[in-house]
Amino acid sequence: MRLRNLVGSGFALLVAVMIASAAEPAAPGTKFDVSEFLERYYQAPNPDRIPELLTAVQALSLAEKPNARPPFTGFLGEIIRANPDRVAGWGRLIPAEARALRSLWDDAVKLAGAGGVRSVTDHSPATNDLNWGAFFATGSADFVQWLIRETPHLDEREDRNLFLTGTTACWSLASNARAHAKVRQVVAEAKAAATSPRERAILGEILTREPKSYRTEMTEIIREQRKQGKWL
């Protein structure tokens, strides 16, 4: 499945690297913390709270934020796959006036019907976000391993999209490896199994490097490429 059929441009950058990056504090009038719910869901799955999530997403206008859509689509797509008997009921909770949320929900249902996030094979920052959403919904190492396979694109200097894909993969892995022991374990295991010296070096940096430094480096490389007449 091509990603643009679901969530639009693959050039959207991860402005902040965790799935909760686009999330605001608790929804007005509630104690529901979107960030906490998404980040910790895989540790204690509770589909009974999905209606609260939908209400909060609507209250905070998160479905209207382009960078929030891929991780939420990935998250909801995997939740829908795991709870097919509850999908219709959840969908009926979305108000008619919540057009952006309805669109997001429909994308997630479509994604689930196509086989989930694993059916998306585009190389893009948006696909990275989809995989983070899927990881936080399931805790499956498979989604972290997808991002690990994208990290060599960090060295790409011809294809801008691949460079952004590799850089945001490294950036997000570095951040989430610090916050989530499971992510760190998967990255460490991949480093130990790597056969390429460069691959081992990249994964080693992910485990030790300051995550924000990837953003700084990315900005500098893009500036230099533009000086050379590339990536304009």
- Nearest 5°: phi and psi at 32? -80, 115
What confidence category does residue 232 fall into, taking pLDDT thresholds of 50, 70 and 90?
Answer: confident
Number of structural domains (the chain) is 2
Shared domain check, 49 and 125: yes
Query: Is there a domain that residue 175 lies in?
Result: yes
Highest mean pLDDT among 11-15, 65-69, 73-77: 73-77
Mean predicted confidence (pLDDT) in 53-78: 93
Shared domain check, 174 and 79: no
Shared domain check, 158 and 56: no
How many C-alpha atoms does 51 have within 13 Å on its Cβ side?
A: 8
Shared domain check, 145 and 121: no
> Which of 79, 110, 139 is the last residue in one of the domains?
139
**pLDDT tens readout for residues 72-103:** 999 999 999 999 999 999 999 999 999 999 99
Residue 127 CA to residue 138 CA, distance in Å, equals 16
DSSP string, 182-205: HHHHHHHHHHHH--SHHHHHHHHH
Shared domain check, 108 and 11: yes
**pLDDT tens readout for residues 139-195:** 999 999 999 999 999 999 999 999 999 999 999 999 999 999 999 999 999 999 999
- Nearest 5°: phi and psi at 133? -60, -45
Check residues 36 and 149 and name the one with the higher pLDDT.
Answer: 149
Q: What's the whole-model pTM score?
A: 0.88
Domain that holds residue 175: 140-232
> Which of 85, 106, 139 is the last residue in one of the domains?
139
What confidence category does residue 20 fall into, taking pLDDT thresholds of 50, 70 and 90?
Answer: very low
Q: Does the structure show a pLDDT above 80 at 24?
A: no
